[in-house]
Amino acid sequence: MDFKGLSLAAIKDNFKDSNIEDINDEVIEILLNDERKNVKTFGNTLKNKKDKHNEALKKMHLMYSFDLSYGKDLVICGVDEVGRGPLAGPIVGAAVIVDYTNRNLLGVRDSKKLTEEKREELSEIIKKEAIAYCIYEISEKDIDSKGIGYCNNEVLFRSYKGLNKKVDLVLSDGYPVKYIDTDNRFVVKGDDKSIAIACASILAKVYRDNLMKKYSEKYPYYGFEHNAGYGTKDHIEGIKQYGPCDIHRRSFIKNFI
């Protein structure tokens, strides 16, 4: 393609309906070699987008391959939880059965490495594309009465059981899940290696973060809308000034009241 007779606006117009994966590397190279600085800058923008897309595509294929290395004919479920450490709110677990013939999970990775906007976007894609998923929460009151260790395991077990699907293998992040009635393999840093665990991580985090935002409207003194119940400075100051609210874990805040 020859862009020499076109203005930058006209060049950009050529690409306005193009997906980044469809833009040819040779075309980007032409833009980068253009004598005009603003056209080079646009070429660099496209190159960076293409590089990020290719990186995400490579990561997705690696995560798919990791799961399928256990057996291509297995029904695989990934489980993960969020909310083990906060001072307030429930612990939330999620289980996801990924359709490995579907390659629409571009960008999925450990939920902590994603922006809030990207997590929200991917959460909807995962729900749409998954063979099955389940999100399960255990309240702060149960955490106080039964202990976080018990509740951590239980939320993973219950999310798995909530799938109501036959599962051949459960992949969990970091440690095994007690009472699982099928094969269970635990994966160190699993939410960065397994697509199924990463999907579960995203669903659990988006669900819990949104729940804590709703709680912030009812309990406005603790910053739940931005700290999700974790022990940030403003959260602890809120406890000291206003006392605990109904969703605080009394067993976690003994030093602050």
Give the residue numbers of the binding site for a divalent metal cation: 80-81, 173
pLDDT at 109: 86
pLDDT digits 0-9 by tens, 189-246 = 999 999 999 999 999 999 999 999 999 999 999 999 999 999 999 999 999 999 999 9
Give the integer Cα–Cα distance in Å for 136 and 90: 10
Query: Which ranges in 33-139 belong to alpha helices (H)?
Result: 37-68, 116-129
DSSP string, 156-223: HHHHHHTT-S--SEEEEESS--TT-SSEEEEETTGGGT-HHHHHHHHHHHHHHHHHHHHHHHHSTTS-
Across the beta sheet with 76-82, what order do the strands follow? 132-138, 91-97, 76-82, 169-173, 183-187
Name the pTM for this structure: 0.89
Task: Please state the CATH superfamily assignment of the domain spanning residues 76-206 in this structure.
Answer: Ribonuclease H-like superfamily/Ribonuclease H (3.30.420.10)
Give the residue numbers of the binding site: 80-81, 173
pLDDT digits 0-9 by tens, 44-56 = 999 999 998 898 8
pLDDT digits 0-9 by tens, 158-169 = 999 999 899 999
Q: Degrees (nearest 5) of the Cα angle 153, 155, 161?
A: 105
pLDDT digits 0-9 by tens, 15-61 = 888 888 888 888 989 899 988 999 999 999 999 999 988 988 899 99
Domain residue spans of the chain: 8-68, 76-206
Distance of CA 132 to the CA centre of its chain: 17
